[in-house]
Amino acid sequence: MNVTELISEIKKKKSFLCVGLDTDVNKLPAHLPKNSSGILEFNKTIIEATKDFAVSYKINTAFYEHLGSEGWKILEKTRELLPANVFSIADAKRGDIGNTSTMYAKAFFENLDFDSVTVAPYMGRDSVEPFLEFSNKVTIVLGLTSNAGSADFQTNTIYTPSLYKTVLKTVSQWGTPDNLMFVIGATKAEALKEIRTIIPDHFLLIPGVGAQGGSAPEVCKNGANSSGGLLINSSRGIIYASNGKDYGEAARREAEKLANETSIYT
């Protein structure tokens, strides 16, 4: 799925919802086995329960990579479970010198066929450009994150302007709104108005809604643009809405609730 198709799906579903499949084997409902088959059954149920409202799914690769080769198999099978009409995100936060980034890009864009991958821009242009060379794929660059450590560099007042603003302005010139998006944490919603003056046309992936305390309506009010321009991610708040056999139904309710909170901005 490319950006044009994503915009169409947002308008069709009237939703900015991105469901994060940060599946922790230790947090599976009690009736599911704590192994690869349990993870896959869980992911399949969550996807089936939420696909009417979700326009995107974000798979945090760390929750699969730590399981070794078996985890990669689960990752591959989970990617195959995603419907064709959703925007798939490999939340891998890669970024290295050019030839290494090329191999990362091939892993996620060619081998696993994700529509997008998250990338850390710290090493500069030549670490990001290899991802941008893939047609009909999107590189999602870390911009302003919601973790406490973002104050160490991103918003540290010793930098004028703030370092994250320099990142947004500089990286946006390396590609276009068709192949570049940016991560902006939902707990930084107050900064979205100014961010939109720097990157008015790019999509923003907004994690941190739900369990981390971010407000979806506030994000929409400050960050939506003429094409929508948002993917609002919720992970734990949806996939762990229940620890019982009704976890699918509970996930669907939470997904519908979040989609409804943002529908007037789509």
Supply 208's token pair: 């941190």
- In this structure, the number of other CB atoms found within 10 A of the CB of residue 243 comes to 13
Mark out the alpha helices in the chain (DSSP H runs): 3-13, 36-50, 62-65, 69-81, 98-105, 125-132, 150-153, 163-171, 192-198, 216-223, 236-239, 247-262
Look up 93 and say whether it is catalytic: yes
Residue 55 has pLDDT above 70, yes or no: yes
Q: What's the average model confidence in pLDDT over 257-266?
A: 91
Per-residue model confidence (pLDDT) at position 172? 98
Q: Contact at 8 Å (CB) between 107 and 81?
A: no
Q: What top-level class would CATH report for the domain 3-265?
A: alpha beta
Q: Model confidence at 215, in pLDDT bands (50, 70, 90)?
A: confident
For residue 188, pLDDT over 80 is answered with no
CA distance 93 to 110: 17
Q: Mean pLDDT across the stretch 236-248? A: 96
The more confident residue out of 210 and 89 is 89
C-alpha atoms less than 13 angstroms from C-alpha of 70 in its C-beta half-sphere: 9
At CA 195, angle to CA 217 and CA 56, rounded to 5? 55
Catalytic residue of the set 73, 77, 93, 257: 93
Q: What is the pLDDT of residues 2-37, one digit of tens each?
A: 999 999 999 999 999 999 999 999 999 999 999 999
Under the banding of pLDDT at 50, 70 and 90, the label for residue 211 is: low
Residue 163, number of CB atoms within 10 A of its CB:
17
- Kindly state the average pLDDT of the residues 105-111: 98
Whether the pLDDT of residue 212 is over 70: the answer is no
Tens of pLDDT along 120-166?
A: 999 999 999 999 999 999 999 999 998 889 988 888 889 888 999 99
Alpha-carbon gap, residue 146 to 32, rounded angstroms = 32
On whether the pTM is more than 0.75, the answer is yes
The DSSP code for 203 is E
Mean pLDDT of the chain: 95
With contact defined as beta carbons under 8 Å apart, do 257 and 263 qualify? no
